[in-house]
Amino acid sequence: MKELLQIPHFATLDVFEMENIPESFDLDTFYSYMKQNKRTKFSLSFDNSISAAYINQLEAIFNEIYESQLYDYKRYLIRYPGVDNRKYKQLFKDFIVIDLYGGILSRFFTC
């Protein structure tokens, strides 16, 4: 995790996707980084083998972002075993973008 944060252009990415993330992923460090990063949209999908304790950690972060009305960082997609699909779909809407130059409605990710 810390290696990613040391890459000079990492902070300038528009979109960052990771899939099958294992429980060894340093969630606290990355979440702190995500809140500081005002540019990048994040999509994180966690492995099905993560523990119930790790899922609880993810759920707390997911709910914090979902329930927040005022935020100065980009919302993100996070998928893990047992995620509330209704809330996930609501957050997914934040990833729909209208291209002002071409008028094209596009999606970064699919459900």
List Cβ neighbours of 61 (8 Å cut-off, separation of 6 or more): 27, 31, 78
pLDDT at 110 over 50: no
Could you give phi then psi for residue 63, rounded to 5 degrees?
Answer: -65, -35
- The DSSP letter of residue 71 is -
Number of domains in the chain: 1
Split at pLDDT 50, 70, 90, the class of 70 is: low
Alpha-helical (H) ranges within the chain are 2-5, 27-36, 52-67, 85-92
What pTM, to 2 d.p., does this model score? 0.77
Question: What confidence tens digit (pLDDT) does each residue in 1-60 have?
Answer: 678 878 888 888 888 889 999 999 999 989 988 888 888 888 899 999 999 999 999 999
Question: What confidence tens digit (pLDDT) does each residue in 76-102 have?
Answer: 888 999 999 998 888 777 665 433 333
Q: Cα(40)–Cα(81) distance, rounded to whole angstroms?
A: 24
Domain membership of residue 63 as a residue range: 2-107
Report how far apart the first and last C-alpha atoms of the chain are (Å, whole number).
Answer: 26
CA distances (Å), origin 70, targets 14, 24, 47, 83: 21, 30, 30, 22
